[in-house]
Every structure is written in C-alpha cells, then in structure tokens.
C-alpha cells in the first residue's frame, strides 16, 4: 500500500470513529421514551464507544509522545551543536599551544645567537610537492630583509633569501638542488661544499657534502656546521649530521650524506639573520 493510500485510510477511519462517537452521545442523552430500535442501537454502540475511547486515548498518547520525541530531538541537536563548538575551541587552543611552543623555541634560539640581528616571519607559501625546496615568508624590505640573508629556525639552517618584495620574501632551502653552502665537520674541522639532493625527478630531503680531505676522520653522527667561507652564511650554524660516508670520489676527495637538522616537510615560523 502506498503512503497516500495509507493516509486516506487513516482519515476515513478517524471520520467514521467520530461519526459513531456522535451517535453514541445522542443515544445516551435520550434517557426516556427509548424505542426498541434505539435500544438495539445503544446495545450495538456500547462496545463501539469503548473502542472509540481506547483509540482516542492511543491517538492522544501517540501525539503526546511525538511532541516529547520532538522536544528530546531538539535538545539532542542543541547539545550536539554545543559539543561541536567545544571541539572547535579545543582545536584552536591546541593550535595556539603548539604555536607558543614553536615561538618559545625560536626565542630561545634567538637568545643563543644574540650576536646576530634577527627578524621573524611566517611561511605563507611553498612550491608544489612534499618538500619545502623554496618557500615564501610574510616579511620583506619593509622589515629590513634583503637578498642572500640567512634563514633559520630553532633546529638549524634553512636556506637563504633569493627574491624579496615589500612585505614578502622567497627562500631557497639548503635541500634544493640549486643550493650550495660551505660547511665544516664540527669535530674534525674539515671543510667541504654542501649541496641539496632534491632535484627534478629525485627528492629525498638530504644533503651531499663533497670536497672533504682524503685523510678526514669522519664518522656517522658527526655534526656539520656552516663554515662562513662562502661569504653568505654566518659561521657556526647547525646544518645537520652525517648519515652515511660514501668514501672517496675518484681518489680526490671524500663525500658524505647529511641529514638536515630542520624538518623540511613541516615549516611554519622562521628567523631571518640580517647582514
């Protein structure tokens, strides 16, 4: 049976019940002069009145329950909305907490390198892909930033500014294949040239250090710092640590693979070292 047929049947039943209920009321009101036919009608309508009363009670109860269910559902919706709002507030508070932790780390790093003049910036864009090979920050010439300035975070060296506008600057990270940094092994003080491994078609987020002396005593885990010999990056900034010693290149020098100290998949706040 279709929904419309069910609705029509329901209406007909209600009308019939109301009609029979009215007949019962009229019959009951005539207490004198009752005919045989009227008595028979009363005898027939008596159980019908009972049925009508029972059905009326059930219909009333249904609609009363329906109203209560609507009220309960509305309360549920209100509570669900409040829970959603609280969840959003918790997420916002958590994000602020993480941001405060990062900024505190940056502040701690800035205090350690107080020999530098530093300004802060936030990452606002990056090139496509998983790695931050090049990225944009929200500070530019208006903040005193110029080309070739060094960019760092609390972990270590990130790269240098290669383009700048009034309120923005673009940074080429040290993992980019076009990057070059003069570095040295902290323990042995051996110098070499560090290039980014990330090139078109190949990206692993690592660095390669070449031109190390053949007799260099280098082991996995050695720290690598900027040497300052390139005239761009200040001396003594942490770059990373040696992940693998590749050995001798054509019997001329030793090369190694370096894992950067900074996480170049996740960058948000940076510091720019001014000249």
The phi-psi region of residue 189 (left if phi > 0; otherwise alpha if psi is between -120 and 50; otherwise beta) is left
Are residue 27 and residue 148 in the same domain, yes or no?
no
Q: Which domain holds residue 233?
A: 118-275
Are residue 108 and residue 166 in the same domain, yes or no?
no
> pTM (2 decimals)?
0.62
User: Taking Cα atoms as reference points, which of 95, 85, 175 lies closest to residue 135?
Assistant: 175
| Whether residue 229 has pLDDT greater than 90 | yes
Continuous H helices in the chain: 3-29, 36-112
What pLDDT, on the 0 to 100 scale, is given for residue 86? 65
| Whether residue 192 has pLDDT greater than 50 | yes
DSSP 108-169: HHHHHTTTSEEEEEEEEEE-SSSS-SEEEES--GGGT--TT-EEE-SSSEEEEEEEE-SS-E
Instruction: Please state the rounded mean pLDDT for residues 224-249.
Output: 91
Instruction: Give 30-67 pLDDT, tens digit per residue.
Output: 544 555 555 555 555 566 656 656 666 666 666 666 66
Higher pLDDT, 155 or 23: 155
Are residue 128 and residue 107 in the same domain, yes or no?
no
Are residue 123 and residue 242 in the same domain, yes or no?
yes
Q: What are phi and psi of 257, to 5 degrees?
A: -105, 135
What pLDDT, on the 0 to 100 scale, is given for residue 81? 72
CATH number of domain containing 187: 2.40.10.350
Instruction: Give 119-150 pLDDT, tens digit per residue.
Output: 889 999 998 889 999 999 999 999 999 999 99
- Any idea what DSSP says for residue 234? P
Separation between Cα atoms, residue 138 and residue 124, nearest integer Å: 6
What is the sign, positive or negative, of the torsion defined by CA atoms of 208, 214, 226, 102? positive
């Amino acid at each position: 049976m279709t929904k419309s047929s069910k609705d029509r049947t329901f209406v007909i039943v209600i009308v019939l019940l109301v009609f029979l209920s009215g007949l019962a009321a009229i019959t009951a009101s005539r207490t004198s002069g009752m005919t045989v036919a009227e008595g028979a009608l009363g005898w027939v309508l008596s159980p019908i009145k009972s049925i009508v009363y029972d059905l009326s009670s059930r219909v009333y109860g249904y609609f009363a329950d329906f109203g209560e269910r609507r009220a309960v559902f509305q309360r549920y919706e209100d509570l669900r909305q409040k829970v959603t709002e609280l969840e959003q507030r918790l997420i916002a508070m958590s994000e602020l907490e993480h941001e405060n932790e990062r900024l505190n780390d940056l502040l701690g790093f800035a205090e350690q390198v107080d020999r530098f003049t530093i300004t802060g910036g936030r990452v606002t864009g990056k090139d496509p892909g998983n790695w931050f090979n090049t990225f944009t920050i929200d500070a530019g010439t208006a903040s005193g930033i110029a080309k070739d300035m060094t960019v760092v975070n609390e972990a270590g060296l990130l790269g240098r500014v290669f383009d700048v506008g009034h309120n923005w600057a673009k940074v080429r990270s040290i993992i980019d294949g076009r990057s070059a940094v003069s570095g040295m092994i902290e323990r042995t003080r051996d110098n070499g040239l560090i290039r980014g491994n990330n090139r078109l078609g190949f990206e692993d987020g690592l660095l390669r250090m070449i031109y190390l002396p053949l007799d260099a005593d280098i082991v996995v885990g050695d720290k690598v710092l900027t040497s300052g010999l390139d005239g761009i990056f200040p001396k003594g900034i942490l770059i990373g640590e040696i992940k693998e010693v590749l050995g001798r290149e054509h019997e001329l020098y030793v090369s190694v693979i370096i894992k950067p100290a900074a996480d170049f998949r996740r960058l948000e706040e940076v510091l720019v070292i001014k000249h």
